[in-house]
Amino acid sequence: MRCPYCERSGSRRELHAHLTDDHAEKVITDTTWGRRFMELQCPECDEGHRTEVKPRYNDPTFLEEHYREIRLVAFDMFLYHWQDQHDQETNDE
């Protein structure tokens, strides 16, 4: 698979880690009406993935600490889309 944001490519697992650490800013979190959401827009089509962050993440300090965990979840969802909708090969698993 290749990274949708840069030239890097690798296995799904490698890309998952790469996206989480190197493209962290692609995951946007916002709070609407007291509910917190994270959003990740596919760079190649109009599909966006917007998910409510679990209520236990609502504590601001908790969110800060677990922001990486939230990104892991967001990019995991995105990689399914990336594989299925944009014909990316999986080199492993």
Residues 13-72 that bind Zn ion (CB under 5 A): 42, 44-45, 47
- 36: phi then psi, degrees, rounded to nearest 5: -105, 135
For residues 41 and 27, give the distance between their C-alpha atoms in angstroms, rounded to a whole number.
Answer: 8
Give yes or no for residue 77 binding Zn ion (CB under 5 A): no
Q: How many residues bind Zn ion (CB under 5 A)?
A: 9
For residues 7 and 74, give the distance between their C-alpha atoms in angstroms, rounded to a whole number.
Answer: 21
Give yes or no for residue 80 binding Zn ion (CB under 5 A): no
Q: Which residues contact Zn ion (rule: CB under 5 A)?
A: 3, 5-6, 8, 42, 44-45, 47, 85
